[in-house]
Amino acid sequence: MATATDATTGSHAPITGYSRRQIMIVLSGLLLGMFLAALDQTIVSTAIYKIGESLNGLTAQAWVTTAFLITSTISTPLYGKLSDIYGRKPFFLFAISVFILGSALCTLSTSMYMLAGFRAFQGIGAGGLFSLALAIVGDIIPPRERAKYQGYFLATFGTASVLGPVVGGTLAGQNTIGGIDGWRWIFLINVPIGILALVVVTKVLHLQHVRRDTRIDYWGAATLTVGLVPLLVIAEQGRIWGWGSGRAYLCYVIGVVSLTAFVLVQRAMGDEALLPPRLFRNGVFRLGMSQSFIVGIGMFGSLTLLPLYLQLVKGNSPARAGLLSLPLVLGLMSGSVVAGQLTSRTGRYKIFPVVGCALLVVGLLLESRLSADTSLVYVDLGMVVVGLGLGLNLQTIVLAMQNAVPARDIGVATSSTTFFRQMGGTLGVAVFLSIVYSTVGSKITSAYQKAAGDPNFRAAASTPDGRRSLATLQHANQSKTLNDTSFLQSIDARLTEPFRAGFTSSVTLCFMLAAAVMAVAFFLTLFIKELPLRTTAAAFTEEPATADAPTTGNG
């Protein structure tokens, strides 16, 4: 039987689980770590244009996001596997420490490429914050009880998602704060929050770990890294380079060859592999991975489009657009709480991702009916339905995955769920933004041709200011970058209406495609087998001693 140190008394008596008070103390540290990672996903996006101006590197701004994405994605499965072998706490502390140091270094950047390098370093830490927090919860809370606590994690994620654009836009809008450039505070605020998380986790998380002597899958890590880097790069840069360019095909070839090598290495390594092939023989794990990947495509792709609509079409600032996303967060939190409480009481959970995926389809179909003059009440309705769908779905799938694998594989199962969902999200964002920017030109042109017959439009276009405004709008449409559309606010609304209508048409096309993708996820979820939830936490589950699981270890 594993032993745990009492978080309040420091005793080392063998126990069979944590009390609710002890769990809440531990959760405080885990949630702080998760808050850091979630906040950083959105806080930079609203400030990146201002950062590019400050560092004279507007053309390199995409690399700041790409660098972080690459390292955080690649490191996620590594954290899961290594923490299964050596224990969660040291790697969680390592992840927080790297994230803090990376954040501090970002504040010192003097060029966009330096910032991109420091963001890559920061991403190494971020990769462990999400997955290890959820894996630790899997260690200390039985699956039957775990559902009650999942609302805290989604509430943290949702709050950070709303605060990110607001805080990022506010800080970037200040020239200096305390003698420091406003945008540098976006990274600097991570430091005190991270230090607090580091202190809390160090003091309260004490869990004895049974170490397993096993080989480290270095070749698996290497081939996965070489395979993912070019694919993530082309996903982020494809619209700029061209999907059929020479650089794009080079990325495709390197990625496919390396990932093929990764699969072969995993088969050769067997149970010691980074992603053990035996887990994919588990039907729940296999379907859960597929479902997570597809949900990631639809979820992240659609969540990227809503802020675009709220900013460009509705004329809101990035900060205000973040606040207007609050209905989605409220729906997400409500769905999570309902799923968690009912799962804890009944022990049944499959119904929630099924209903959740159905709601996601409905919500995305509602958003596909948007127009340039749609009421925000209708937009909010669609966001609430999408949020409910996410709340019922996300943590429940993680719970199903953790419950379906042996206790010793909690880390790799949890990190795999996060990894595949993030990979799906990266693909979704790349595909949907490519669709928007490849269709928006023709749709805006068509909208202006249609508006030419409107007397009000002709009257506005006939003035000298109107002709200059139309030239500005035509240039923006031809460039297809739309990085800064603040000029729309200073142009006669009669002239910008076709521009907004054409952009909305491209966005709603993507919402329709996202709904179709979510329908596939709904279909897959129907086939996930519902297994009885364990009533003992993974850390206190006795497993037969094997050659790779000795009965002694350290934490």
| 173 & 223 share domain | no
| Cα dist from 133 to 2, 29, 226, 359, whole Å | 20, 9, 27, 27
pLDDT tens track for 426-459: 888 888 888 888 888 888 888 888 888 888 888 8
The span from the CA of 242 to the CA of 500, in Å, is 25
Closest to 321 in 3D by CA, of 434, 181, 170, 490: 170
Question: Is 190 a domain residue?
Answer: yes
- Whether 108 is in a domain gets the answer yes
**Per-residue pLDDT band at 30 (split at 50, 70, 90):** confident
Of the residues 273, 302, 319, the one at which a domain ends: 273
Tell me phi and psi for residue 350, to 5 degrees. -60, -35
Tell me if 427 is assigned to some domain. no
Same domain, 31 and 99: yes
Give the pLDDT of residue 478.
64
The reply to whether 118 and 223 lie within a common domain is: no
Range of the domain at 260: 218-273
Q: What is the rounded average pLDDT of the residues 452-467?
A: 80
pLDDT tens readout for residues 165-208:
788 878 877 888 888 888 899 899 889 988 988 888 888 877 66
Percent of the chain predicted with pLDDT > 70: 89
The answer on 37 and 77 residing in a single domain is yes
Q: Are residues 500 and 553 in the same domain?
A: no
- What does the pLDDT look like over 91-147, one tens digit per residue? 999 999 999 999 999 999 988 889 989 999 999 999 898 888 888 888 888 887 777
- Please indicate, yes or no, whether residues 199 and 211 belong to a single structural domain of this protein: yes
- Residue 239: predicted pLDDT: 76
150 shares a domain with 243:
no
Q: 410-447 as b/e, with b when 16 or more CB fall inside 10 Å? A: bbbbbbbbbbbbbbbbbbbbbbbbebbeebbeebbeeb
Average pLDDT over residues 519-531: 92
Q: Distance (Å, rounded) from C-alpha 118 to C-alpha 64? A: 9
Q: Do residues 176 and 53 both lie within one domain?
A: yes
- Shared domain for 258 and 149, answered yes or no, is no
Cβ-contact 543, 407 below 8 angstroms: yes
Rg (CA), the chain: 24
For residue 517 the two structure tokens come to: 């993708």
Is the residue at 56 inside a domain? yes
pLDDT of residue 213: 64
Q: Per the domain annotation, does 75 fall within a domain?
A: yes
Tell me the pTM: 0.82
Co-location of 6 and 110 in the same domain: yes
pLDDT band at 549; cut points 50, 70, 90: very low
**Does residue 375 form part of some domain?**
no
CA distance 104 to 422: 25
Asked if 191 and 228 sit in the same domain, the reply is no
> pLDDT tens digits, residue range 479-492?
555 555 666 777 77
- Residue 383: pLDDT band (50, 70, 90) is very high
Same domain, 207 and 225: no
Residue with tokens 């992603």: 275
CATH number of the domain enclosing 90: 1.20.1250.20
Q: Is residue 233 part of a domain?
A: yes
Residue 168 forms part of a structural domain: yes
Given a cut of 50, whether residue 533 has pLDDT beyond it is: yes
Among 504, 528, 547, the domain boundary falls at 504
Domains of the chain: total: 3
